[in-house]
Amino acid sequence: MTVQQSDLKLDGNAIAGLLREIFTMEMTTAESTCAGCHKVHAVGQVEVYMNAPGVVVRCPACGQVQMRIVKGGGRYWLDLTGIRSLEFSA
By CB under 8 A, tell whether 27 contacts other proteins.
yes
By CB under 8 A, tell whether 25 contacts other proteins.
yes
Which residue among 37, 38, 85, 87 contacts other proteins (CB under 8 A)?
87
Distances (CA, A) of 4 to 8, 37, 73, 87: 10, 21, 33, 31
- Classify residue 66 as exposed, middle or buried by CB count within 10 Å of its CB (0-12, 13-18, 19+): buried
Alpha-carbon distance of 82 to 62, in angstroms, equals: 11
The minimum distance between CB 62 and other proteins, in angstroms, equals 12
35 or 70: whose CB is closer to other proteins?
70
Residues of the shown chain interacting with other proteins in the complex, contacts defined by CB under 8 A: 1-14, 16-17, 20-21, 24-31, 42-45, 49-54, 56, 58, 63, 65, 68, 70, 72-73, 75, 77-79, 87-89
